[in-house]
Amino acid sequence: MTLKSQIDAFEIEKKANLSSDILDLMDITTDKLIAAQLSQHALNVGDTLPAFILPNSDGTLVSSHALLEKGPLVLSFYRGGWCPYCNLELRALNNMQQAFADQHAQLVAVSPQLPDESLSTQQQNELAYTVLSDMANSLAKKCGLVFTLDERLIPIYDQLGLDIPKANGDDSYELPLPATYVIDSQGVIQFAFAHEDYTLRAEPLDVLNAVKAINRV
């Protein structure tokens, strides 16, 4: 089953469980974000990924240099473990983890969550790959991915039990656009997906094919 088909199924479930007022507001704020065209300023194919050192879910620092020494890097930015679309994507990537490993690719997920929250996300989704905490969105900002959640959504998120300040350790409500990059050993981006619509995600098979293309060169 493709990631898109899983998201489509969740969309049907969401529409059955949420009021039309909430769904309309979610659509309005997403359309506003799309109109702002933030993704046009995000890193793209041919750009160089900024070097980084970030803590993983147990607090150990991980560097982009060390990751790229091992092979192609797949870097997936997600909003947080509170986001059902992100969890679908994280699990879809995990289901193909062995295929990425066979290509000597390093699969890494990044969010602004605190390390303890990242650990919870990793455990709850049974992820076999590295999860990093990009606190204050330091890397995501360098990649041109950061936006501030529309304030109209804050009471809705509170109502749904989505505590972003607790997850991120601050009350900025800054989040990354969902984005996936495939980076070669020189640090150059060879595949890029970033979109303002959080329901749209890179298909893992397309990401894997991008890794294979790097290895064929």
- pLDDT score for 201: 98
d(CA 146, CA 4): 24
Tokens matching residue 214: 């790097």
Q: State mean pLDDT over 131-144.
A: 98
* Closest listed residue to residue 83, CA positions, set 109, 51, 57: 109
Confidence class for position 134, pLDDT limits 50, 70, 90: very high
- pLDDT score for 4: 98
Residue 217 has pLDDT above 90, yes or no: no
d(CA 112, CA 118): 9
Q: Where are the beta strands (DSSP E) in 104-207?
A: 106-111, 130-133, 146-148, 174-176, 179-183, 189-194
- pLDDT score for 25: 97
pLDDT tens-digit profile of 77-127?
999 999 999 999 999 999 999 999 999 999 999 999 999 999 999 999 999
Give me the chain's average pLDDT, please: 97
pLDDT tens-digit profile of 184-214?
999 999 999 999 999 999 999 999 999 999 9
Give the global pTM: 0.96
